[in-house]
Amino acid sequence: MSETAVTRYCNGMSNENVQAVREVIDAFNRRDFDAAMAPLRDDVTWERFLSRAEATSPAVRGKAELLAVWKSQVEAVDIRVEPEEFISVGNKVVAPMRMVAHGSGSEIDLVSVVTWVSTFDDGGLCTKVEAYESRDEALRATGIRTSA
C-alpha cells in the first residue's frame, strides 16, 4: 500500500472502518484473498469497475462471486491497488485510488483511476462497495459538498 495514503475524517470518526478498507487493499495486493474477504459481509455487493464491459450485471454479489472475479482478474493481469487517501464519512469510507495493471507478456502498465465508497454495518462488516469515476462524485454521493 502507498505510504502516502492519507486518512481524513468527516461526520464522525470511524478508524475501524478505515482500517478494514486498508486491510482489504493490503490483502488483495498480497493475493491473500481469505484475509481480504474477512471484513466483508457474506452478502456483500461490490460494483464492477475493471470488468464492467464484459459483465452481465453491474455488481458482484456475495463473497463467492467476488472471489471468482478477483481470481480471474489476477490471472489475466498483474494488478495492484494504490490508495491515495481514506475519507471516513459516517458509516462509509471514500477511497480514491489508482489501479495499476501489468499485462502478461507486456512491458506496459495500464492505470485506471476509481474511487470506492465502502459502506459498513453496525457490526463493522462491509456491506457494499460502490465505484465512482471521480473523488468529487463519490463525496457528493455521501452527502459531502465539493467545489465541482
The tens digit of pLDDT for each residue in 1-10 reads 444 454 454 4
Residue 145 has pLDDT above 80, yes or no: no
Q: What is the mean pLDDT of residues 40-57?
A: 76
**Structural domains in the chain (count):** 1
Amino acid, single-letter form, for residue 147: S
- Cα distance between residue 85 and residue 132, in whole Å: 15
Q: How confident is the model at residue 105 (pLDDT cuts 50, 70, 90)?
A: confident
Residue range 18-30: mean pLDDT, rounded: 96
**Among 39, 33, 23, residue whose Cα is nearest residue 64:** 33
φ, ψ for residue 77, nearest 5 deg: -145, 155
- Whether residue 72 lies inside any domain: the answer is yes
**CATH label of the domain that carries residue 48:** 3.10.450.50
Handedness of CA 36, 42, 48, 53 (dihedral sign): positive
Q: What is the mean pLDDT of residues 87-116?
A: 88
Give the integer Cα–Cα distance in Å for 47 and 44.
10
Structural domain harbouring 76: 6-141
Region 54-81: mean pLDDT is: 85
pLDDT of 119 reads 96
**pLDDT at residue 103, as a whole number:** 73
Q: Is residue 60 part of a domain?
A: yes
> Do the domain assignments include residue 24?
yes
CA distance 114 to 96: 6
The answer to whether residue 135 sits within a structural domain is: yes
- For position 147, what pLDDT does the model report? 66
